[in-house]
Structure 1
């Protein structure tokens, strides 16, 4: 959309439509499951209620665990950016990458490689965003328990929905995604194939 040459304000779709007030151009897609995240329901307040400490105590399906290693586990993100978005998490409750042991660093790397291979094989991902936010100031939602994100990406996956609609479309229920990834995760305690 371009501004009119006469300097008039830019008209948004829906402005002037019967039954709509100016600025009410956006359509709404309801994602009520996100409200728990927005309100902080289940957000960790200490090691006793840290979700990353509690998840390993649950069965794999309930906890959305894809694979378990000796020092780390792979789990689907409950609020994914894209389908197949998972995290590699150490069992130990440590906040910083520098707190990991050499064994934990090695297994985290191995699990990340395996996650990429598995997600590519089942979904044809074209690329990945791999990373961790260290500390709440850097964007970590659960800053007290280190976790690394592995977010699959596809050419054109940033379409009008997240850009214009501020909404992500996930084509599969999390439990189905977990089952698919777990079934294709190679056997072995270090995530290697």
Structure 2
């Protein structure tokens, strides 16, 4: 690559389109059903609470909205595209984007629901650990940045086994209906 005056700026750049096709090492697991989420009419938007799936979920039946438990100011819902079985999201009912926008009561209940989610998932499936987190803003990885949600991701020994590493494939052994039923039935039980 050169500047306008012909001086080089490092290695010569070549047009990638002229290269023979190189594989990237990833096998493809085709999931056309995700197109409803990615490009279809059901794709979540960040345009406000009228289109927000976290605002819509509480108005549905629990099984239809994938809701596990409801509180006064927050609810627990299964992630539609989970990292692992039992991946929950703890969401305030109120459409707020930032953790600092929560009231004291919402923040307290969000914390209590996160704790109960961990207790419940331990009773249901015995994970070895958890990842907890919030992606604040689209640049931080939030798919739906306009509505705050806390991820509770159970981690199992071997969940990062050879499949994701060698085959670039994630195995999810339970379907949403089964996971939602098991977690909902165990919610609030004895530790």
TM-score (norm 1): 0.81
TM superposition shift of 1:28: 3.8
Query: Residue 25 of structure 1: CA displacement?
Result: 6.7
Of 39, 52, 55 in structure 2, the residue corresponding to residue 50 of structure 1 is: 52
The structure 2 residue matched to 1:130, chosen from 132, 135, 139, is 132
Structure 2 gap ranges (5+): 1-20
Decide which of 81, 84, 93 is 2:83's aligned counterpart: 81
The answer on 1:30 being equivalent to 2:34 is no
Counterparts of 2:175 and 2:134 in 1: how far apart (Å)? 24
Q: Is the 8 A contact 1:34 1:79 kept in 2?
A: no
Distance, in Å, in 1 between the alignment partners of 2:94 and 2:88 is: 18
Seen in structure 2, the aligned counterparts of structure 1 residues 164 and 39 have a Cα distance that, compared at 3 Å, is: farther
SS in structure 1 at match of 2:142:
coil
Please state how far the C-alpha of 1:75 moved relative to its aligned partner.
Answer: 0.1
1:66 is aligned to 68
Query: How many residues align structurally?
Result: 169
CA deviation map 1:47-82 (0-9, x unaligned): 111000000000100000000000000000000011
SS of aligned partner of 1:130:
strand
Partner of 2:159: 157
Comparing 40-49 and 122-131, the one that deviates more: 40-49
C-alpha change, 1:23 and 1:55, in structure 2 (3 Å) is same
Return the alpha-carbon distance in structure 2 between the equivalents of residues 99 and 29 of structure 1: 39
Shift of residue 27, structure 1, vs aligned partner = 4.3
> Please, what is the CA RMSD of the aligned residues?
2.0
Partner of 1:11: none
Partner of residue 167, structure 1 = 169
Give the distance between the partners of 2:52 and 2:172, measured in 1 at CA. Answer: 26
For the 8 Å contact 2:27–2:168, the answer to whether it is kept is: no
Supply the distance in 1 between the matched residues of 2:139 and 2:29 (Cα, whole angstroms): 30
- Determine the C-alpha separation between the residues in 1 that align with 2:142 and 2:126: 28
Q: Quick one: distance in 2 between partners of 1:92 and 1:51?
A: 12
Which of 174, 179, 184 is the aligned partner of 1:182? 184
User: Which position in structure 1 is the counterpart of 2:144?
Assistant: 142
Post-superposition offset of 1:161: 1.9
Q: Quick one: distance in 1 between partners of 2:26 and 2:87?
A: 27
TM-score for the superposition, normalised by structure 2: 0.82
